[in-house]
Amino acid sequence: MMRLHKLYHRFTLVPLSLPSNPSLLPLAPPLRLTLRHRTSVNFASMASSRLRNLAPLAAAPTEDAAAASISSSPNAAASVDYDDESTVGVRYRVPPSVISDIVDAPPVPALSFSPLRDRIIFLKRRALPPLAEIARPEEKLAGIRIDGKCNTRSRMSFYTGIGIHQILPDGTLGSETEVSGFPVGAKINFVSWSPDGCHLSFSIRVNEEDNDSSKLTVWIADVKTGIARKLFQSPNVHLNAVFDNYVWVNNSSLLVCTIPSSRGAPPKKPLVPSCPKIQSNEERSIIQVRTFQDLLKDEYDEDLFDYYATSQLVLASLDGTTKEIGPPAVYTSMDPSPDHKYILINSLHRPYSFIVPCGRFPKKVELWSADGKLIRELCDLPLAEDIPIAFNSVRKGMRSINWRADKPSTLYWVETQDGGDAKVEISPRDIIYTQPAEPLEGEHPTILHKLDFRYGGVSWCDDSLALVYESWYKTRKIRTWVVSPGSEDVAPRILFDRSSEDVYSDPGSPMMRRTQAGTYIIARIKKESDEGRYIILNGNGATPEGNIPFLDLFDINTGKKMERIWESDKEKYYETVVALMSDQEEGDLYLDKLKILTSKESKTENTQYYFVSWPDKNIVQVTNFPHPYPQLASLQKEMIRYERKDGVQLTATLYLPPGYNPSTDGPLPCLVWSYPGEFKSKDAAGQVRGSPNEFAGIGSTSALLWLARRFAILSGPTIPIIGEGDEEANDRYVEQLVASAEAAVEEVIQRGVADPKKIAVGGHSYGAFMTANLLAHAPHLFCCGIARSGAYNRTLTPFGFQNEDRTLWEATNTYVEMSPFMSANKIKKPILLIHGEEDNNPGTLTMQSDRFFNALKGHGALCRLVILPHESHGYTAKESIMHVLWETDRWLHKYCVSNSSEAGEDHATDTVKEHVSKGTTNAESKVVAPSGGGSREVSDLEYEEFHSLPRSSL
């Protein structure tokens, strides 16, 4: 599946975050996947991330006009009167226009190239969704959230239109053909190309007040004319998009998950339960699970899950013929073989669980013919409640069952040899098998490779070459193996053996090319000058000066780089290679005919896309997106380096407002926004990540918004928590956290850009946890803090959290000492807590903020709690986001910008005593916003799919 390199966290994506069809985005499957272990992906917390194919559309005034629109004084509150407390907490509020104008700018379209690279579509989008839409009712079942009216995942974003452009011979775009024929106001989802690029498929929903029209229907558009029509002639056929939705089986037919026609009304909750709710462990099984959310609670929930998740598969042709195949079931994925003769079908079945999400439910994997006949059952995995919490632990049995991308219909999969328990010492730990879709009688699976670490993926090329990846979190080891799938006498060999934390040694990932079957394989490259066959490694190029992406021509036989054929401009620009574009024909690609798609940006120029063609490396610009926030076009950005007192090298990105000069303007109020990370070595922790030339992506809740209020922003200062050798990082969490913060604060003060009395700290999720700990253990550094969607009491997550896989009972002191809840009596500086009422992220229950606020209030702390109804771990609704920004701006204005006293612990203590003696706590406030919405998190099936992956890149 194609992936995006970056994310503009200001936007909410379609319901599965990334499209399910591999041709929807111009990216080949990544060889390495970075995921924080067992932590939902939180877009709203990443201050500088962005979708490379998304940028906000706005009119661009002159630079002078933009600069003039920003308040010249940090004390100016625009039209906001923060001294009037009479309406605080009464209604939703909006921040000053210098902030809201940036957030509310409409986005530009998303881009998608056709399979043949001859056309590009622009998927048109809207700005932030309204509150009423996000607050729609939803069912919370088995770890997922379902919109019952639409029969989809809840809180879906959507596209508003599709424009088609032909790519002309010179690389420029032709005029736009607007897709037409669907109802006005239609909400578009699940856009997908047919394999031959002649048609587009997508879903439509219209009037959400009507039960029928609010459900999704499947549409087909002719790419040449742009005219769209319904796939199904019957108006009663609707899409079931709770799990998978539809997939192109070939150029003229699709396999669609539909709502069963025989389905009646939803089951009704019985007034009188049939029995008590009972859980038992009389077998004394050891079952340790993290704090999963939205789990099934009783038999009624089980019935409701079946009702919404059950689909009837329908094979539909473009000529209008349809055929129901297979029985109704909870189908979770459909994957046609490259030759379109078979379909790999995944489904869930009972018995369900009340303690784990649906990704661990019993799972059946079957092989069907293209017309829906069962050929054989590959596996039927039992309920997996007992996966150990140790990193790299996995489910027992067959897993990661997929089609070989280089073969017509050959399966491969992995089976664990350690019972799925990472603590078991055994060799090999994983075995990779391959087998034809229909093996001969008595033909057993072939062993492709045996691994001593945990399996991390395969990149296929042909019978002579495949790359196999394995990794081990505890040691941060990662290996790449070269195997010859078609030659049993050729022994596998290690190509790369390195630390996943050592970004400087990363050789890059092989470029992938699209085959005529629609799969992606390693691209073989030839040169006119010799007979050798090479691959191209696409790397980030991490260096002490920042990332300098590259393409290397690489000899897989010798394991050596032949030459560097492309490199980013390191002086001013940050360029990356997005995809290979010269892969329309089968066979080897010639270097002198190479064509790639690149992105290019600078500190002040937003991302644009370019075609680069060999042999002259001719460049053609594809897009010309306007600057998303011209009022901050001339902001100042610098990647800075400094040292922690224990010698660890640290980095951060320092942003300063447009036109600011420290020598004449003096120090500014400063906001430090960060997120700690764990490392096994000081050297790895000190390595530079990112580029000083990257464009400053400003998201809907980004700290960079306060550049418009003339703050200095220290974004992402590295806060490494290091545990070398046998030491666990968290055993010295507080000590290292404080040392990192002290070094960062000392650096901005020494540079003269930050007023030492006006430095605030903030973060989201684990960054909120960091913020509370810093106010408790380093009150001398910060005047106030902002903590969003955090967890503060680790005894409420007793079976591990973040990258801690020891239990509370194994590391009691660590859990207690790391919890700011246990140090609530030490927090004397003002702290603003914000949390989504419907947070579904494991570990950050809304209760965490509620209880932490009560603990703070019980000690007279100056604190404020804002609960956003309907919001999830990240915030989505326009009203909610604007209110979060207002609350943050008010907090910074009152307790940072206007902070004129030392605000030290003695002063705070005196204030506490005064309030206690009077029996009041007037400085505190609990605010509950009247409504809200939420952003879509990673689904439990996606989450469980990567359950065994460590946080580091695979």
Q: Which of 715, 765, 789, 952 is catalytic?
A: 765
- Alpha carbon distance 24, 872 (integer Å): 27
Quick check: is 234 catalytic? no
Q: Which of 9, 238, 835, 873 is catalytic?
A: 873
Where b means 16+ CB within 10 Å and e means fewer, 884-913 reads bbbbbbbbbbbbbbbbeeebeeeebeebbe
- Alpha carbon distance 692, 487 (integer Å): 46
In what helix (H) or strand (E) does residue 812 lie, and over which residues does it extend? helix 812-818
Q: Which of 386, 839, 889, 940 is catalytic?
A: 839
| Alpha-carbon torsion (239, 243, 245, 250), positive or negative | negative
Quick check: is 97 catalytic? no
Q: Strand 831-836 to strand 784-788: parallel, antiparallel, or no bridges (unpaired)?
A: parallel
The residues pairing with 649 across neighbouring beta strands, listed in sequence order, are 643
Token pair belonging to 864:
């404020």
| Alpha-carbon torsion (48, 51, 57, 60), positive or negative | positive
Residue with tokens 């120090």: 667
Cis preceding-peptide flag for 615 (omega within 30 of 0): yes
CB 31, CB 75: distance < 8 Å = no
CB 160, CB 202: distance < 8 Å = no
The residue type at 349: H
Dihedral, CA of residue 457, residue 459, residue 465 and residue 467, to nearest 10? -40
CB 844, CB 110: distance < 8 Å = no
In what helix (H) or strand (E) does residue 145 lie, and over which residues does it extend? strand 144-147
Q: Is 756 exposed, middle or buried (0-12, 13-18, 19+ CB in 10 A)?
A: middle
Quick check: is 873 catalytic? yes
- Alpha carbon distance 700, 105 (integer Å): 10
CB 9, CB 699: distance < 8 Å = yes
The Cβ of residue 267 has, within 10 Å, a number of other Cβ atoms equal to 14
The beta strand positions in 357-397, using DSSP E, are 363-369, 374-381
**Total count of residues recorded for the chain:** 954
3-state secondary structure of 104: coil
CB 609, CB 578: distance < 8 Å = yes
- Which residues are known to be catalytic? 765, 839, 873
